[in-house]
């Protein structure tokens, strides 16, 4: 298939405007995980921007090599805080992937897998919960142990199976309101996520409990759906826009019904980044551009919200040596670095130690650890080595993908460390009798 449609989209004035700020200084290179791993210019932000610019000017074709270098990008956006010119690298990568996806004709198996995952599963909470219940049976029956012992799954299936966490015995219950405990200070809307809701239900339950302890009633709009981050990672921009519109409508209806709220709170860095960027995603939609701006302005990461609204400080001792594994999209896209650490330091008994390179991606990156298994594992191994060197007993995360990736990595490496979300550690302190 001709690559001309992709080149035409990259030649558009808006894309050219995104390319323009790059002055080729190279300050982004040390921040890039794939450049650190491969040492190749074309696997750095500067190199990829050079490829994008050349393709947009028809000096190169969007061939297999071009696609490979773009596909190897984690879209972790560590280059953005390092860039003195303010290059919006995330927007460049998303646009390029969308252009490549629009011109490419994937095989029948890939088409089926994309449709099943991105359209038929992630946007539908009930279907994901149904699958999670089946996976609980798979774990409890001993079949999981047998399958892992056989080690017979194809690489991508094995990568997905490895990421499966120990599943909770019950689903989260959002049917009933969660009122504030103690002095009521307002209401928040809670974005529950898709994979987070199905596979990491205890994190959502802990989030609601911590919000309630600090005086906030939690409302969970019933018709919310996937944030669209996974779709954007794979170039499915129109699908991501459809999901954004659905979320905006769902929260708007709930806000009218509930009489308003303080914020829209989420507990996953990748989801939060996607939600905060709805204004950019829907900037050309006359019916939703203003709605998207209002929606995004209300979105707060749980750490961002609690650092300003920790009305009841945790007092129970949690004696542990902990380290923070940053969510790339929390750190680099939302620029939230200190709040999670400040909250950890408010928990009695927690000794916080920093990793040698806290800014480097763990290799999760949406679906990267499934589609780019070898590279993701190399990045994970580097992260695990730093954790082992730190002597941390507790690994604190703030994102769904990081949580699954680190649990799988700890198990594979045989580290004696537990992986918990920040809110789970806060919740543990609130309930501790020590």
> What topology does CATH give the domain 314-431?
Rossmann fold (3.40.50)
The whole-number pLDDT of residue 8 equals 78
pLDDT above 90: percentage of residues in the chain: 81
Both tokens of 129, joined, read 């919960």
Strands 186-191 and 216-219 turn out to be: parallel
Going 48 to 49 to 54 to 56, the CA torsion angle's sign is: positive
For the ranges 115-119, 192-196, 310-314, which has the lowest average pLDDT? 115-119
The whole-number pLDDT of residue 173 equals 72
Residue 186 contacts residue 298 (beta carbons within 8 Å): no
**Cα angle, residue 34 at apex, residues 100 and 381 outer, rounded to 5°:** 125
CB-side exposure of 188: number of CA atoms within 13 Å?
30
**109 vs 19, higher pLDDT:** 19
The whole-number pLDDT of residue 178 equals 87
Q: Which CATH number fits domain 186-307: 1.10.760, 3.30.2000, 3.30.70, 3.40.50?
A: 3.40.50
Residue 55 has pLDDT above 80, yes or no: yes
Task: In whole angstroms, give the CA distance from residue 305 to residue 299.
Answer: 9
Residue 3 has pLDDT above 60, yes or no: no
Residue 91 has pLDDT above 70, yes or no: yes
CB-side exposure of 116: number of CA atoms within 13 Å?
7
Average pLDDT on 2-14 reads 75
The whole-number pLDDT of residue 1 equals 41
Give Cβ neighbours of residue 434 (< 8 Å, ≥ 6 apart).
316, 317, 319, 349
Where in the chain do CATH 1.10.1060.10 domains reside?
4-103
Average model confidence (pLDDT) across the chain: 93
Other beta carbons within 10 Å of 280: 16
Give Cβ neighbours of residue 287 (< 8 Å, ≥ 6 apart).
none
Both tokens of 259, joined, read 């009489």
The whole-number pLDDT of residue 185 equals 94
Residue 228 has pLDDT above 70, yes or no: yes
For the ranges 39-43, 178-182, 307-311, which has the lowest average pLDDT? 178-182
Residue 174 has pLDDT above 90, yes or no: no
The whole-number pLDDT of residue 175 equals 67
Both tokens of 159, joined, read 């990568």
For the ranges 91-105, 297-311, 406-420, which has the lowest average pLDDT? 91-105
Average pLDDT on 103-120 reads 82
Average pLDDT on 79-108 reads 89
Give Cβ neighbours of residue 363 (< 8 Å, ≥ 6 apart).
33, 74, 369, 375, 376, 377, 378, 379, 380, 383, 405
Phi first, then psi: what are they for 352, rounded to 5°? -90, 125
Where in the chain do CATH 3.40.50.1860 domains reside?
314-431
Both tokens of 152, joined, read 């017979």
pLDDT band at 4 (very low <50, low <70, confident <90, very high): low
Q: What is the pLDDT of residues 289-324, one digit of tens each?
A: 999 999 999 999 999 999 999 999 999 999 999 999
Q: Which CATH number fits domain 4-103: 3.40.50.170, 2.60.40.420, 1.10.4080.10, 1.10.1060.10?
A: 1.10.1060.10
Phi first, then psi: what are they for 310, rounded to 5°? -85, 75
The whole-number pLDDT of residue 290 equals 97
What Å distances lie between residue 18 and 21, 98, 274, CA to CA? 7, 15, 19
Residue 254 contacts residue 387 (beta carbons within 8 Å): no
**133 vs 3, higher pLDDT:** 133
Task: In whole angstroms, give the CA distance from residue 281 to residue 288.
Answer: 10
Task: Output the 3-class SS for the chain.
Answer: CCCHHHHHHHCCHHHHHHHCCCCCCCCCHHHCHHHHHHCCHHHCHHHHHHHHHHHHCCCCCCCHHHHHHHHCCCCCCCHHHHCCCCCCHHHHHHHHHHHHHHHCCCCHHHHHHHHHHHHHHCCCHHHHHHHHHHHHHHHHCCHHHHHHHHCCCCHHHHHHHHCCCCCCCCCCCCCCCECCCCCCCEEEEEECCCHHHHHCHHHHHHHHHHHHHCCEEEECCCCCCCCCHHHHHCCCHHHHHHHHHHHHHHHHHHHHHHCCCCCEEECCHHHHHHHHCHHHHCCCCCCCHHHHHHHHHHEEEHHHHHHHHCCCCCCCCCCEEEEECCCHHHHHHCCCCHHHHHHHHCCCCEEEECCCCCCCCCCCCCCHHHHCHHHHHHHHHHHHHHHHHHCCCEEEECCHHHHHHHHHHHHHHCCCCEEEEHHHHHHHHHHCCC
């Amino acid at each position: 298939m001709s690559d001309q449609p992709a080149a035409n989209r990259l030649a558009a004035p808006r894309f050219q405007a995104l390319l323009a700020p790059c002055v080729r200084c190279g300050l982004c290179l040390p921040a890039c995980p794939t450049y650190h791993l491969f040492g190749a210019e074309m696997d750095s932000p500067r190199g990829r921007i050079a490829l994008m610019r050349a393709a947009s000017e028809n000096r190169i074709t969007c061939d297999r090599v071009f696609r490979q270098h773009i596909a190897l990008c984690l879209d972790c956006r560590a280059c953005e805080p390092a860039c003195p010119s303010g290059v919006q690298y995330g927007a460049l990568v998303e646009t390029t992937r969308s252009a490549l996806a629009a011109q490419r004709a994937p095989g029948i198996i890939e088409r089926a897998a994309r449709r099943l995952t991105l359209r038929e599963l992630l946007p539908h909470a009930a279907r994901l919960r149904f699958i999670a219940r089946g996976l609980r049976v798979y774990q409890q029956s001993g079949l999981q142990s047998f399958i892992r012992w056989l080690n017979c799954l194809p690489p991508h299936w094995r990568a997905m199976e490895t990421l499966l966490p120990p599943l909770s015995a019950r689903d989260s219950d959002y049917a009933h309101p969660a009122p504030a405990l103690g002095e009521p200070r307002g209401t928040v809307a809670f974005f529950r996520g898709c994979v987070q809701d199905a596979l990491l239900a205890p994190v959502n339950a802990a989030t609601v409990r911590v919000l309630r302890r600090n005086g906030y009633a939690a409302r969970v709009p019933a018709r919310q759906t996937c944030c669209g981050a996974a779709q954007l990672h794979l170039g499915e921009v129109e699908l991501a826009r459809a999901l954004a519109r659905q979320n905006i409508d769902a929260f708007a209806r709930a806000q009218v019904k509930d009489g308003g709220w303080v914020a829209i709170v989420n507990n996953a860095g990748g989801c939060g980044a996607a939600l905060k960027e709805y204004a950019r995603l829907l900037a050309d939609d006359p019916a939703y551009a203003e709605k998207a701006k209002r929606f995004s302005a209300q979105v707060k990461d749980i750490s961002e919200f609690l650092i300003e609204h920790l009305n009841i400080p945790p007092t129970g001792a949690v004696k542990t040596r902990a380290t923070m594994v940053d969510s790339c999209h929390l750190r680099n896209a939302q620029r939230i670095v200190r709040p999670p650490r400040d909250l950890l330091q408010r928990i009695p008994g927690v000794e916080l130690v920093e990793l040698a390179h806290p800014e480097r991606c763990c290799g999760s990156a949406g679906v990267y650890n499934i589609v780019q298994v070898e590279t993701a594992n190399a990045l994970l191994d580097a992260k695990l080595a730093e954790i082992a060197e730190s002597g941390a007993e507790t690994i604190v995360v703030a994102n769904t993908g990081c949580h699954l990736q680190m649990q799988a990595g700890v198990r594979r490496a045989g580290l004696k460390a537990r992986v918990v979300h920040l809110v789970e550690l806060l919740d543990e302190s609130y309930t501790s009798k020590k």
